[in-house]
Amino acid sequence: MAETKKLMRALAGEVMDVPPVWMMRQAGRYLPEYRATRAQAGDFLSLCYNPDLAAEVTLQPIRRYGFDAAILFADILLLPQALGADLWFVTGEGPRLSTITSMNEFNALKGVGDIDEVLSPIYETVRILARELPAETTLIGFAGAPWTVATYMIAGRGTKDQGPAHKLMAENPAVFDALIDLITKGTIEYLSKQIEAGAEVVKIFDSWAGSLKGEAFTRYALEPAKEIITALKARHPNVPVIAFPREAGDKYIGFARATGADCVALDNSVSADWAATNVQVDGCVQGNLAPDHMVTGGQALTLETKRIVKAFSKGPHIFNLGHGITPDANPDNVQIMIDAIRG
């Protein structure tokens, strides 16, 4: 039963002495078993689209550490690919996509009704995980938020300041708004299908939310999140949603209320004490240990982990990092973190 799972209890608002814990990018290059499976797959995208191998790498950190949740192994750029963008990965440099900067390029994309043809292997991965995960482990599905996904589709790659997307927003708002709307509607369908396949919680990653200021944040981070969450709640009223508007700063305040999110994930640019006072008042929060502690370890890791647990101890809390664990992290430090949380 879902309500016996620690992560689900925290998302329902329960305050626990020992918070549930998982990590962003917990299936990743810091683990030797992941690197072996990825080599077997051949390349990153082949791993994402191979349900057996994608399920295997999702399960690896659960076997090793006993995390309270598993997050589907996939990538936020699979949706743009399903919408008709070309996607490839350059070793050592990251993703590349065909760009959308004009109405002609936008009109060449596919419709939302066409995405399942490409994404069906992802749903199969979810079905395998729903069968194979331990009974106490919650399965999290996810997608990128419209703004973050759009920044890659517009620039064709990750950029330092999301400049190309800001430029298109200012110079060709018709194309920009059409793209945001298409991604929003595609994300609703994609997450809904993950839920139908067995995801118990879904998370919306807005990795570049922090570069949206003022009204732009409301229009392109908050409002699309609200649209997605409202639509998902109408279809799947009992499935919690975690929102992660990374580096939102003061905009974290009230984000859960404004969007309907059951939990707000916090990056490590805000302090746990500040977030407990200003964000946790609205419900569950997730976070927010700095990922570099997974590299450096030592007593600082244990002390900071315990400090964060204490700061959030008066309300519902899911322990996590403030961003994804990095490839240079020491797997032993993950266990030190878990031991500090679980005592």
Residue 238, Ramachandran bin (φ over 0: left; ψ between -120 and 50: alpha; else beta): alpha
- Is 75 annotated as catalytic? yes
Catalytic residue among 25, 34, 65, 267: 25
Per the residue annotation, which of 30, 49, 65, 75 is the catalytic one?
Answer: 75
- Cβ-based neighbours of 32, under 8 Å, separated by 6 or more: 331
Provide CB contacts within 8 A for 73, sequence distance 6+.
Answer: 27, 47, 48, 54, 55, 57, 58, 125
Catalytic residue, chosen from 30, 34, 38, 68, is 38
342 is an active site residue: no
Q: Which of 30, 123, 152, 220 is catalytic?
A: 152
Tokens of 329: 């992290």
Q: Which residues pair with 69 in a beta bridge?
A: 138
To the query of whether residue 25 is one of the catalytic residues in this protein, the response is yes
Alpha carbon distance 218, 213 (integer Å):
8
Residues 122/74, Cβ–Cβ less than 8 Å: yes
Q: How many residues does the chain have?
A: 343
Give the phi and the psi of residue 206 in degrees, each rounded to 5.
-110, 75
Active site residues: 25, 29, 38, 75, 152
